[in-house]
Amino acid sequence: MMMLDSLVRYMNLMTIDVEDERVIRWPETTPPIVPRPWGASPTSSTTPTPDACGCIDQTLGHRWPLAATTVPSWVSTPGWPDGLPESEIQKEECRRLIWSSIQLLAAYNSYSVARGTQVVKFALCKASNVSSVCKRLRMFQTNLLKPQYAFLLPGEIAVGPRARDTVWNIYFRAMVLWNGCIGMRGEVNVSDSVQAKYAMTTWMESCELDDLLDKHTCDTERAFIFIGREYLYK
């Protein structure tokens, strides 16, 4: 796990889309909440309703029918957009590696929490804009400061911000939110007021993600054995 975390960080894959204005940046001690396409507040009591569940049209099985016989276990994963240049294909491969890595490391830490063992502070599990390593170098090498998370979320390369309410995107957001909570719980230099605000904002976000999942009419959640809800309910 540490080797995977180190390799992704060494190759700087987490900043693959640093020049893209659509990339979301989360400041230190701030819950990793994804802005709403509708412009709603993260703590809004009213969850906007998408026009319809569009997950099926974005699946690999829909975009490539042969997937049902070639890779049947992948038919419910996000499909690849048509007409991507080679450079974007390579970027999308990197993004999917990051998504899968974060899912794996989150699962490992979830297992550690369940067993009562120490949680590993993986770099991939920290969603703040500036990594702790860069912060220590700030006075010497300002040009090295880069957002730790600077990549598009699942489905955004194909349909933009509308993808933020797909099942894959919501599941990813739930994992990042859970990672953020575990990280905040281990912080000793954060005031009680900051932690209280973090907890309240996180609770509101988790409720909204749960509501968004309830509005889906596809079977994508079943294909992923409802892993996203597990993180929301922890």
Q: Is the pLDDT of residue 43 over 80?
A: no
- Of 13, 200, 162, which Cα lies nearest the Cα of 92? 13
Q: Is the pLDDT of residue 24 over 50?
A: yes
Residue with tokens 């026009």: 51
φ, ψ at 6 (rounded to 5°): -70, -40
Tell me what the mean pLDDT of segment 61-71 comes to. 90
Calculate Rg over the CA atoms of the chain.
18
Structure tokens at 225: 């054995």
Q: Is the pLDDT of residue 48 over 70?
A: no
Say how far apart CA 155 and CA 79 lie, in whole Å.
Answer: 8
Tell me what the mean pLDDT of segment 27-56 comes to. 59
Look at residue 158 in the predicted model and tell me its pLDDT: 65
Q: Is the pLDDT of residue 79 over 50?
A: yes
C-alpha distance from residue 195 to each of 23, 44, 199 (Å): 25, 20, 6
pTM: 0.79
Residue 124, sorted as left (phi over 0), alpha (psi -120 to 50) or beta, turns out to be: alpha
pLDDT tens, position by position, 176-230? 888 888 888 877 778 888 888 888 988 999 999 999 999 888 888 888 888 889 8
Say how far apart CA 150 and CA 155 lie, in whole Å.
Answer: 15
Say how far apart CA 68 and CA 62 lie, in whole Å.
Answer: 9
